Structure 1
């Protein structure tokens, strides 16, 4: 299930901070806690922040002026942007949709200024039936450095462990959400194609990877990756993908 929110800013208020993903996430959590407390309790309350979430999102906008530093803001080229959501769980997706809809005319997602959700589009889902898919990133993929004892830190697409660590992430994701299937890492192959790496301003800075990636796995796993995202911190606005082949 995929949704696109068209957000309009008041004239003169079209700035978002470079850590805009945190603003979207905070808005989702606040909306769920108020309008769907049972869902909030299941996924976020009582130290459940690290529990895998069945969704990802990305934000698309045009920039008129780039920030001078990581603590600065993006000046948008116009007064609107789009937030794209993808859900692996239809019930969860509809809950988020209804929660965000409650504040359609007075959304305060980015800063103190009021924004308006002008349109909410239900996008057509893609069904993956093959065992290989080529994806392009809609938001950067974060891949943990698993050789660090606590899995802290992230690696770029040129790192020797990039594909192996991402394979481990996919295996964990599949075994969590596809509970009737015992997935082995041997069933999954990851091949970064045209990718680049940049430092993303998110909680101090993360290495994000964007571009084209080819993945071979059972079709149900590829579908899960398409629906729920790929890599670490998916529900914080990373790892959203589109199928291109």
Structure 2
């Protein structure tokens, strides 16, 4: 039986995912739900290791995160401004490419298990934490299904104006592929350019457009199955770190079909 002082030590690279139960005091959840969960994650990181938190969010606040998360709300109902969650429970899924992030997430959640966080007229309490095995990728082609919406984001011009594209369009798929190539370059450096340029994607025809509220802005995104062809180590990275933009804010988490 684990105690609040228990820690995890992971061997190898990204062997597990995590699942965390979060209990709500009230059954109404704001639509800007990712913001609330990210606030809880940040609070847990900070309480567990202030230097790690500072390096991740303060020293270089806009740095790309190689982790992602998704939320499962059970039998919920989306209202105009809120989400009705009768079970008063959120299941948080977390995945990362780096052992350090995985260790920090698990240990920080365990340290704060049973703690109540009061955020925006509700209280959130961390419950059970589970470790989940990831799937091994050895082929040059994988079909991913989204666990949280995928964002294809375009920056343009000196003032970095931002557009969000749907994967239902050829332009959106082209932007999404560019996002993947930029993500890989940021993670692995210039040496990956040749392999990243060989990537190809195929989006399922039954994909669904969704608008997700994030920090007060409605972001166009997609829930879909996506076939990606590329080197196995690249597919493994995308599986663990998430795909597309805004992964550190709870977008782009995928599983393997």
TM-score w.r.t. the length of structure 2 is 0.85
Which contiguous aligned blocks of 4+ residues in structure 1 show a shift greater than 6 angstroms? Answer: none
The answer on whether the counterparts of 1:199 and 1:206 sit within 8 Å (CA) in structure 2 is yes
Alignment partner, residue 10 of structure 2: none
Q: Which of 148, 156, 166 matches 1:156?
A: 166
Alignment partner, residue 231 of structure 1: 244
Q: How many residues align?
A: 238
Local SS of the residue matching 1:108: strand
TM-score w.r.t. the length of structure 1 is 0.89
Alignment partner, residue 221 of structure 1: 234
CA distance in 2, matches of 1:209, 1:50: 23
CA distance in 2, matches of 1:129, 1:110: 43
Cα gap change, 1:226/1:50 in structure 2, threshold over 3 Å: closer, same or farther? same
Q: CA deviation at 1:103?
A: 1.8
Cα gap change, 1:177/1:24 in structure 2, threshold over 3 Å: closer, same or farther? same
Q: Deviations over 1:3-56 (max 9, x none)?
A: 00012234xx1221100100111111222223211211221113x232111100
Give unpaired runs (5+ residues) of structure 2.
Answer: 1-15
Give unpaired runs (5+ residues) of structure 1.
Answer: none
Q: CA deviation at 1:148?
A: 6.2
Cα gap change, 1:26/1:117 in structure 2, threshold over 3 Å: closer, same or farther? closer
Q: CA deviation at 1:215?
A: 0.6
Q: CA deviation at 1:197?
A: 0.9
Alignment partner, residue 209 of structure 2: 197
The answer on whether the counterparts of 1:56 and 1:239 sit within 8 Å (CA) in structure 2 is yes
CA distance in 1, matches of 2:99, 2:185: 19
Q: CA deviation at 1:110?
A: 5.1
RMSD after superposition: 1.9
